[in-house]
Structure 1
Amino acid sequence: MSFQWLKRYMPRGIYARAALILLLPVIVVQLVVSVVFVQRHFEEVTQQMSVAAAREVRLVLMRLDMAQTRDEIAEVTRDIVAPLAITVTPLPDTALGERNTRAWYDFSGIVITDRLQRAVEEIAVVDLSDDRRVRLIARTALGPVELSFDRRRVSAAAPHQLFVNMIFFSVLVTAVAFVYMRNQLRPIKRLANAAEAFGRGRVMPYVPAGSTEVRAAGTAFVDMRNRIERQIETRTLMLSGVSHDLRTPLTRMRLALSMLDDDERAPLEQDVEDMQRMIDAFLSFAKGDGEAEPELTDPVALARSIVDDAQRAGQPVTLTEVEGEGQVRLRPLAMRRALDNLVSNAVRYGARAEVSVRLTEKSLRFRVEDEGPGIPEEQRADAQRPFTRLDRARNQDKGSGVGLGLAIATDIARAHGGTLRLGQSPKLGGLRADIVIAR
């Protein structure tokens, strides 16, 4: 039997799920105890007490048969009603027109009325409107007679006390348990916040705390974060060092090429420029998303400035669609680097590029589309890996590269807690690159 449909109704947060785990058993126990209590107390105990009271009422009615007139009722029943604590009062004939009454919350009154009328056929009306007294109207040979006695004779006193105590102590125990539960879940929440911040490129101070298991997970996270930071630092130093060391021989090569004839110098200078672009790509990849903290940024203004810079450089880039307005926490320099790479790739492999921005309450999307050959669906994941060059997918006669443009954009998108999605542009027919960031 599958219970997958229950997942739609389950809470998402750990606090809500823990509260559900805590409260569900308490509620189930209360329901079971309530059902058993109602069955045992309200029904069985009330039935026994009602039967005993019915016997006493029948005994009083039997004594009433000895009276010849209504005036003799008090005299005949004096010696029996005193020990039984039952009051007997003659009533007019119109009293038989009354109906059984009880309070809406008096569930035991249903059992009392049923048992008394079934045990004593002479009882015509059972009035339980008064919580302290039971009022019966019985038919006799001398006319209607009222019999009244204490309500505690047919039902237990204050039967709601069990429910009150059960609810009170359940709430008390639940509140105490919730306090302890919150203290146990707080370290998990702190660990989740630290992991989320690190995934967005920020380092949040975190000290492992809590239970043994949570402390172990926190320690493992800190060790993992330190290893990743060391790897990023090593990668940055290595690429920066290699790129820096290559600049010196390139400078000497430029000086040497400047002494050659124009016909011989042009192709060699093109090779040097290609090597320079590769070094710049290495440096951009080594920088990653940078160390700057996120700040409130207008994404529309950022995209418009990138398009303006591209147009001033003579590139066929246009800002076609803008939806929404507001500010989002971004690293503007890193995001500019990612969008510049996407625009440069689009212009290199397509005749023109279009940029659009969509800002909603839940997400931010930058989109860059081109008219180029695009990337096959099965190769889009590989295209986002560093140093991957898809020769068949992208025409390299229009430019050279080292396969870091999409990798840099992917890293920057991930550092912002987002993702880079590649697809086919339905509008231009080429590649569609979306940077989607959750708000």
Structure 2
Amino acid sequence: MSFRWLKLYMPRGLYARAALIIVLPIVLLQVAVSFQLISRHFEGVTEQMSFAAAREVQLVIELAEARHEKADELERVLEGLDIDLRFPNRIDAKDTRLWYDFSGIVIMRTLREELPELQYVQLRDDRIVRLFLQGSNAPMVIEFDRRRMSASNSHQLIVTMVFFGFLLTLVAYAYMRNQLRPIKKLATAAEAFGRGRVVPYSPRGALEVRAAGNAFLNMRNRIERFFEQRTLMLSGVSHDLRTPLTRMKLSISMLDADEREELDRDVEEMQRMIDAFLDFARTDFEDERSELDAAKFVTEVVDGCARAGQDVKVHKIEGDGNVTISPVSVRRAIENLIGNAVRYGNHAEVSVRITEKSLRIRVEDDGPGIPADQREEAVKPFARLEPARNQNKGPGVGLGLSIAADVARAHGGVLRLRDSERLGGLRADLVFGR
């Protein structure tokens, strides 16, 4: 039997689920205990008290039948038992009981079993019991206090159970909240690190939580060392390559124009590859985050690319608001997407959509696009799909989409590649959470 439908009604937060785990057993226990107590204890007590009251009523009925001979004795019994007795001309009544008066069911049942003369029982409130009886000589109406037939203040037990149940729930929730706080801090630190930010974190709490926290810190330190070593290595390699490239440029400049054209093109290609490697080596963990106007920021990046000779423009901006991002890394990602768009197409357009929860930067081109089965491969470092795409401005290095995807992941976002329905080429969406 599948219980997957329960997931639709389960809370998603850790605190809410912990509260459910605490409160649900307490409520079920109280309901079960209350039911058993009311059905057994109060029912038994009410039945015994009703039986005793029925014996007293039976005595009154016997004296009332012989009231002419035992008038004085009847008066003493009524006064001693605090019972009111009337002799109406006829009986015109019906059984009455409040809908929540469950002990009244037991009272009626016991009285009917013990009093054959009983016609109707009225329990209009919790204070008076009124009995309508048909005696051998005349009808009778007997009234007495309800407290003689059922336990008084029976609600006090339920009130006490609810009060202490609520109190124990608060105590348990406070303790559980103290235990869950280290888990929440660990989740906050992990989420921040996934978005490229390092927040102070110290493992606390139970042994298992401390172990998970220490494992997270070790993982974070290893990742930071890896990025640092990668940056140093590529920076060192690029620095070592710049010196011979400079010498090559000086040597080529001394050649004739016809002889150095192809060599200049090769040197520029090598320079461009080194710059791409450096961009790939830089990580968002080293950039400072700042709060920027998203629409204004993207517009400035597009205008800068247009001034550099790229055929790109802003198509549409939806919404407004500020976002906290690394401007250097995000600018690099947008420029790479625009560069790819104008490299493999003739024209590119950029759209921005800002909502309460996300920022989406869309770059579309009119090129051949990327087949759906190759898009996952296209975002990998050094992936080059030239056989599948036309090239207007020379071959690429294979790092443009990879850099954009890394920047998106560092901000807790994602890079999505789709077909552009409007321009017919590739549609690249950079999506960041706000």
- Which position in structure 2 is the counterpart of 1:115? 110
Deviations 1:165-195 (A, max 9, x none): 2111111111100110000000000000000
Residues 90, 143 of structure 1: 8 Å contact kept: no
TM-aligned CA deviation for residue 269 of structure 1: 0.4
Residues 88, 141 of structure 2: 8 Å contact kept: no
Residues 50, 148 of structure 2: 8 Å contact kept: yes
Q: Which runs of 5+ in 2 are unaligned?
A: none
Q: Aligned AA for 2:400?
A: G
Residues 233-382 of structure 1 correspond to what in structure 2 (within 5 A)?
233-289=228-284, 291-382=286-377
- Which position in structure 2 is the counterpart of 1:406? 401
Q: Aligned AA for 1:301?
A: K
1:14 aligns with 2:14: yes
TM-aligned CA deviation for residue 332 of structure 1: 1.7
Q: Secondary structure at the match of 1:325?
A: coil
Structure 2 CA distance, aligned partners of 1:19 and 1:47? 40
Deviations 1:299-331 (A, max 9, x none): 211221122122222221121121111111121
Residues 375, 394 of structure 1: 8 Å contact kept: yes
Q: Aligned AA for 2:61?
A: L
- Which position in structure 1 is the counterpart of 2:85? 89
Q: Secondary structure at the match of 1:307?
A: helix
- Which position in structure 2 is the counterpart of 1:207? 202
1:77 aligns with 2:64: no
Residues 34-53 of structure 1 correspond to what in structure 2 (within 5 A)?
34-53=34-53
TM-aligned CA deviation for residue 14 of structure 1: 0.4
- Which position in structure 1 is the counterpart of 2:164? 169
Q: Aligned AA for 2:129?
A: V
Structure 1 CA distance, aligned partners of 2:170 and 2:384? 60
Q: Secondary structure at the match of 2:388?
A: coil
User: Percent same amino acid at aligned positions?
Assistant: 59
RMSD over aligned Cα atoms: 2.1
Structure 2 CA distance, aligned partners of 1:435 and 1:393? 23
TM-aligned CA deviation for residue 75 of structure 1: 2.0
TM-aligned CA deviation for residue 43 of structure 1: 3.3
Structure 2 CA distance, aligned partners of 1:290 and 1:249? 31
Deviates more, 1:56-65 or 1:110-119: 110-119
Give the 3 Å change call, closer, same or farther, for CA 89–217 of structure 1 in structure 2: same
Deviations 1:2-23 (A, max 9, x none): 1111111111110001111111
Deviates more, 1:51-60 or 1:198-207: 51-60
TM-aligned CA deviation for residue 411 of structure 1: 1.0
Residues 210-229 of structure 1 correspond to what in structure 2 (within 5 A)?
210-229=205-224
Deviations 1:376-428 (A, max 9, x none): 22221221121222232333563223211111111111111100011111222
Structure 2 CA distance, aligned partners of 1:392 and 1:5? 49
Residues 386, 395 of structure 2: 8 Å contact kept: no
Q: Aligned AA for 1:67?
A: R
Deviates more, 1:245-254 or 1:144-153: 144-153
TM-aligned CA deviation for residue 109 of structure 1: 2.1
Deviations 1:223-247 (A, max 9, x none): 0000000001001111111111111
Deviations 1:23-70 (A, max 9, x none): 1111111221122123213434323432332232122212211124xx
Structure 2 CA distance, aligned partners of 1:193 and 1:205? 10
Residues 419-438 of structure 1 correspond to what in structure 2 (within 5 A)?
419-438=414-433
- Which position in structure 1 is the counterpart of 2:3? 3
1:190 to 182, 185, 199: 185
Structure 2 CA distance, aligned partners of 1:410 and 1:331? 14
TM-aligned CA deviation for residue 352 of structure 1: 0.9
Q: Aligned AA for 1:23?
A: V
Q: Aligned AA for 2:72?
A: E
Structure 2 CA distance, aligned partners of 1:133 and 1:348? 95
Deviates more, 1:382-391 or 1:412-421: 382-391
TM-aligned CA deviation for residue 99 of structure 1: 4.6
Deviations 1:82-137 (A, max 9, x none): 66x2423325437x435544555432123323432453243344343453443334
Q: TM-score, normalised by structure 1?
A: 0.93
Residues 52-63 of structure 1 correspond to what in structure 2 (within 5 A)?
52-63=52-63
Give the 3 Å change call, closer, same or farther, for CA 74–420 of structure 1 in structure 2: farther
Q: Secondary structure at the match of 1:398?
A: coil
Structure 1 CA distance, aligned partners of 2:92 and 2:394? 105
TM-aligned CA deviation for residue 290 of structure 1: 5.2
